A and B are shown apart, each in its own frame.
Chain A
Amino acid sequence: MDERSEELAALNALDMLESDEKRVLHGACVTDKELRAFSVELEATAAELGRLVTPVTPPADIKRRIRAKIRARSDRFASVSPGVMVGALGWGLTVALAAAAFWLWNERGKLERELASASDVIAKVLPAADSNKGQVRTLEGTLKNMRDDFEQKKAALNVEIDTLRKRETGAQARITQLIAEAEEMKKQDAQSQLQITTLRSDVWEYRRAEMTVVWDARRAQGALLLEKMPEVEDKKDYQLWIVDPKQSDPVSAGVVAVDGKGSARTAFKPAATVGSAAKFMISVEKKGGAEKKEGPVVLTGP
């Protein structure tokens, strides 16, 4: 017998169990004869403690009340002694006893037959019960394994959920940051009035050259991209000009240095205030640039 069964039997002996545990014990007692006998013995042991209780005399009228209650419930409870009753009934009782003896003899035979057939049934059922016990044990084992698997998966999922939560928090922060940046860019975009212009040349040497100007009128600044420009003559420089229709002369936007491959990338600002940039030009000027356009225009646009 295991400790768990002993414990349940002990607690039951002192009426300390509640219904669920009581059912477990009673279920176990159905199949375990030893546990059943042990449980009964422990109940008797616990009840023996009643011998040590200090007696308290009950009120005198309780016995009378008990007898009245019993009398009310049962006609068989009489206030006269059984001897007096037997004497009064005399022959009647003798005859009744004889009849009862005969009936009991018949009943005994019937009960013996019923007992024999019940024993047969039990003998057939017991092996099945043993096999059922085996199946129950197997099922319990399977359930335990399933529960262990489940617990492991649960723990792994909890770790994964934690990781995902952390990632989500990071992603949220990144999204917030990107939204802020996008808002900032929108503001900047709203403030800027960009104009993109591509320049071409009618001069044969510059026919392959490409020039793109991005001009932000609001900020009055721009960026220049030059490709495939021929090498400039000695003591000469390329110079960028902005044509403002409200001004008589083009406004200088600075000298443009072209590298060995004929490329240039540079930001520029006009030397004087420009109201609106209608046109951009590149001319060949003296080294270091000129205040006013003097040299030939090689690229122009739009």
Chain B
Amino acid sequence: MPQSELTEEELLQRVARRDVRAFDQLYDALAPRLHGLLRQMLPEEREAEEVLQDGFVHLWESVGGFDPEHGRAFPWAVSLFRRKAIDRMRTLGRRTRLVDSAVLEQATLPAQTTSAGEGTMTDERRDMVSAALGELSRDQRQLVECAFLKGLNHHVIAESLGLPDATVRTNIRRGLLRLHELLKGGSSGRTL
């Protein structure tokens, strides 16, 4: 199979075998989305770029931990890069610092329009995630998006938004469980 047609999972497997061209391709495929995420989490551009750089070096070194039978490549990479960003926030003391509520309220994921015609598998998956997110209640969605994009702990989010800690925790739990159910192909049977 030509390398250009490989899936992200196959590219990762090749990177695990130290295929430099596969690494380049994987970088081209993932870097813009990962960079977009890092820019949301780290307000300064230079920091986002440094974490992006460190993240790919780490990916090269730890790619052996990726198991295609137990997960997809993109979420695996997102987890890795988010953890790197959170480590950086912790080092800079931003993890526990209160944030302007307006900044948190603006931390939203854009709604995707359904792909017209025959999209790629990546497009289809993105549409599925977008649709599942749209199923959450307004509060659940806001808190899940805010937590995902800002990398703050629940105490800081609760204090910054002026909400009880228990409300934040409950909405996050319910929202994420609902999302999990919907992405697994579940119906809206379970009330959360």
Contact = CB atoms under 8 A, between A and B. Distances in A.
21 contacts: A3-B173, A7-B173, A10-B172, A11-B169, A44-B72, A47-B75, A48-B75, A48-B129, A49-B109, A49-B148, A50-B34, A50-B74, A50-B82, A51-B129, A52-B126, A53-B33, A54-B110, A73-B61, A76-B18, A81-B21, A82-B19
Interface stretch (A27-35, A55-63, A120-128): A55-63
A55 B75 contact: no
A178 to B, nearest CB: 55
Nearest to A70: B60
B52 to A, nearest CB: 6
Interface stretch (A12-20, A167-175, A185-193, A239-247): A12-20
Contact of A14 (B17, B52, B53, B148): B148
Range of interface residues on chain A?
A: 35 or more
Given A50-B74, A51-B122, A63-B27, A14 B172 contact: yes
B125 interface: yes
B183 interface: yes
Interface in B144-187: 144-145, 147-149, 151-155, 157, 169-170, 172-173, 176-177, 179-180, 183
B16 to A, nearest CB: 12
A43 interface: yes
Given A56-B32, A82-B20, 8 more contacts: A11-B169, A16-B153, A42-B180, A45-B179, A46-B148, A51-B130, A56-B35, A57-B35
Given A3-B173, A7-B173, A45-B179, A50 B57 contact: no
Contact of A11 (B52, B57, B172, B183): B172
Contact of B153 (A17, A41, A66): A17
A59 B172 CA distance: 34
Contact of B35 (A10, A17, A55): A55
Interface string B51-80: 011001100110000000011101110110
Contacts of A74: 60-61
Contacts of A105: none
B133 interface: yes
- Top 10 A-B pairs, shortest CB-CB distance: A47-B75, A55-B32, A50-B78, A47-B78, A52-B109, A56-B36, A51-B126, A45-B180, A10-B173, A10-B176
Interface in B108-159: 109-110, 112, 122, 125-126, 129-130, 133, 144-145, 147-149, 151-155, 157
Given A59-B49, A82-B18, A15 B24 contact: no
Contacts of B24: 63
Contacts of A82: 17-20
A216 interface: no
A69 interface: yes
A210 interface: no
B168 to A, nearest CB: 9
A47 B76 contact: yes
A53 B57 contact: no
A52 B21 contact: no
Contact of B176 (A42, A52, A76): A42
B179 to A, nearest CB: 5
Contact of B144 (A14, A70, A78): A14
Contacts of B172: 7, 10-11, 14, 16
A97 B29 CA distance: 32
B31 interface: yes
Contacts of A67: 20
Interface string A271-290: 00000000000000000000
A73 B62 CA distance: 13
Contact of B112 (A3, A50, A52, A73): A52
A49 B145 contact: yes
A12 to B, nearest CB: 10
Contact of A69 (B31, B53, B183): B53
A206 interface: no
A41 B184 CA distance: 10
B62 to A, nearest CB: 12
A77 B53 contact: no
A106 interface: no
